[in-house]
Structure 1
């Protein structure tokens, strides 16, 4: 999504979703138990219309459930409620979030007819064993088929994946990222698994049948996954679950939830790159790492953690980070002080 665009979210909590995945308590994630109605869409968009857009184009987004699994009549009612706001310029288009096994030519035609421009598909994994263990109820091939239909129709495709699901390992999740990148989506979301109360996954964890996906483990893993999408030129529009009252309260009992998870991952990537550059350096060296001003904090790490790790691991006498405006990307330049 462009920096000059913003999203107006409308949550469709679990309605229409034919499966209860082991990790999901959608009512809590969406923050509401009330089914969405056309009048809710109108109310939300009227409120948005009263607020200056500040030059940003706005998009209505139906999140929180499998939109295209909702009965067709209700889909058309919800989408239809937004059309006048497209006509008057309040929003420029609509995006929906759904399951891969609920996409077919009839659905695609309906979405295009009602000015949907973006479809987000919850792939979660491309490993059949993981999909079964997570109770997803769809296959790897369903993800491939849905992605092709969406892209062939001219709609924008966003793919969502999760790390740390039951039966998943580091290799499995990295393969999933690689295979999703091969589908050439316009963007991706990466969600490490969080154990939420009132889910089957919570029961599995409580019985010792599932080992939590910790923040540390997820950070290390996602630092290997993010470059896969970066190198493919695929925009990562979300890394980690959105902070919310529900998840920051007592519902999220364990797992890889951190309000600044994306920053942790990007910082870890810098740490891994710095380690590669410093490999073989003479112990006791004075080192300067130069980086673009935009990435100084990520290279330093939270609480200067990366600096401490590098100094100790390589026995450096000193390590400083300097801004260099001539560096335009995430490159690190190493200087050994004389």
Structure 2
């Protein structure tokens, strides 16, 4: 499989007609200025010099509502990537925008100028959550935008958030089911953080908003991740990139920030899969007290969990005196095996497990 890489260019809040209650884009993107076309070209050149040959590269404009900035500015930015597209050094252009900021004619022009992927900041498909978050659009506008992007022959990405005002586990799963019906090519999931200087910070300080705990955010995101993966929709990121600004002590006022949030989610998925396997395996096991779990070498840390938390939880739940974990290179990615010191006698693939969830 070919490696892929984005050359990220952040244009914080540029073009966005709304200021959502959670948004402080300069702090989130770690960017305090708008790049000039010359700076964009320099950034592309520098990034390309560090990317290995054979990598699929996209120039990615993130952080603002790209299609709402003046058309000349859009074209100037896109023009920066044109020479690299023509030479084959860059495969395409990716940009982020809002569902209510695109139309058919502009999509045709974007495609002509090399745009291959559009990521929509959808956040939720629940009407109340969108209203309380001050997003400024309705779910039907999201559906229409996704249909137009598909029709234009551009790859569709959808960005979602968990823990927004008025949100809950059921609404997040409802949004997940609806997003699956929109057939995106990829999804990102972010936990809502209370960022300094936002309306959400004021609501938090006044007791009108309570952020998710880290455990709650991981649980919800894991449930969404599993359903997207069952639908064969890649989840390309979970959690915000831990840039320097986000890791400053005064930036995140409250909320489930963790620099390795996505890894925590994958550890939660591995725990649930192992739990399902053990429940099925134990009744047939010769020795319930000497169970061994097997997994691919690269996924050992996911199965074990931080500070062996997954193993300790499984031991306690199933009353196991001993629960060892071994790596096995013969197992495909996402698979977990069970057995004893004589070898592995049962295997549960990720695909098999995902078919079991409600």
TM-score normalised by L of structure 2: 0.89
Tell me by how many angstroms 1:208 deviates: 0.9
Query: Is the CA contact 2:22–2:198 (under 8 Å) kept in the aligned structure 1?
Result: yes
Q: Look up the SS of the partner of 1:172 in the other structure.
A: helix
The range that moved more, 222-231 or 322-331, is 322-331
Residue 34 (structure 1) aligns with: 33
Does residue 60 of the first structure (1) align with residue 64 of the second (2)? no
Relative to structure 1, the CA distance from residue 145 to residue 297 in structure 2 (aligned partners, 3 Å threshold; closer, same or farther) is same
Residue 296 (structure 1) aligns with: 300
The range that moved more, 42-51 or 226-235, is 42-51
Q: Look up the SS of the partner of 2:245 in the other structure.
A: helix
Please list the CA deviations of residues 281-317 of structure 1 after superposition, one character each: whole Å capped at 9, or x if unmatched: 5896221112222322111111111111111122111
Cα distance in 2 between the residues matched to 1:310 and 1:128: 39
Cα distance in 1 between the residues matched to 2:155 and 2:118: 6
Cα distance in 1 between the residues matched to 2:52 and 2:294: 38
Please list the CA deviations of residues 70-98 of structure 1 after superposition, one character each: whole Å capped at 9, or x if unmatched: 12121112112321222233322111000
Residue 182 (structure 1) aligns with: 181
The range that moved more, 116-125 or 177-186, is 177-186
Residue 251 (structure 1) aligns with: 251
Relative to structure 1, the CA distance from residue 272 to residue 15 in structure 2 (aligned partners, 3 Å threshold; closer, same or farther) is same
Does residue 314 of the first structure (1) align with residue 329 of the second (2)? no
Does residue 267 of the first structure (1) align with residue 275 of the second (2)? no
Does residue 80 of the first structure (1) align with residue 79 of the second (2)? yes
Cα distance in 1 between the residues matched to 2:211 and 2:140: 28
Query: Is the CA contact 1:219–1:261 (under 8 Å) kept in the aligned structure 2?
Result: yes
Tell me by how many angstroms 1:271 deviates: 1.1
Cα distance in 2 between the residues matched to 1:247 and 1:257: 9
Q: Look up the SS of the partner of 1:222 in the other structure.
A: helix
Q: Look up the SS of the partner of 1:43 in the other structure.
A: helix
Query: Is the CA contact 1:11–1:64 (under 8 Å) kept in the aligned structure 2?
Result: yes
Residue 162 (structure 2) aligns with: 163
Task: In structure 2, list runs of 5 or more residues that go unmatched.
Answer: 343-358
Q: Look up the SS of the partner of 1:96 in the other structure.
A: strand
Relative to structure 1, the CA distance from residue 290 to residue 48 in structure 2 (aligned partners, 3 Å threshold; closer, same or farther) is closer
Counterparts of 1:113-192 in structure 2, within 5 Å, are 113-192=112-191
Cα distance in 2 between the residues matched to 1:19 and 1:52: 36
Q: Look up the SS of the partner of 2:157 in the other structure.
A: strand
Cα distance in 2 between the residues matched to 1:86 and 1:165: 38
The range that moved more, 192-201 or 270-279, is 270-279
Aligned Cα RMSD in Å?
A: 1.9
Task: In structure 1, list runs of 5 or more residues that go unmatched.
Answer: none
Give the aligned length.
337
Residue 45 (structure 1) aligns with: 44
The range that moved more, 184-193 or 85-94, is 85-94
The range that moved more, 259-268 or 36-45, is 36-45
Query: Is the CA contact 2:29–2:243 (under 8 Å) kept in the aligned structure 1?
Result: no
The range that moved more, 266-275 or 234-243, is 266-275
Does residue 217 of the first structure (1) align with residue 216 of the second (2)? yes
Please list the CA deviations of residues 41-78 of structure 1 after superposition, one character each: whole Å capped at 9, or x if unmatched: 22222323444543323211100101011121211121
TM-score normalised by L of structure 1: 0.94
Query: Is the CA contact 1:45–1:90 (under 8 Å) kept in the aligned structure 2?
Result: no
Q: After the TM superposition, which parts of structure 1 deviate over 6 Å for at least 4 consecutive aligned residues?
A: none
Query: Is the CA contact 1:98–1:120 (under 8 Å) kept in the aligned structure 2?
Result: yes
Query: Is the CA contact 1:48–1:90 (under 8 Å) kept in the aligned structure 2?
Result: no
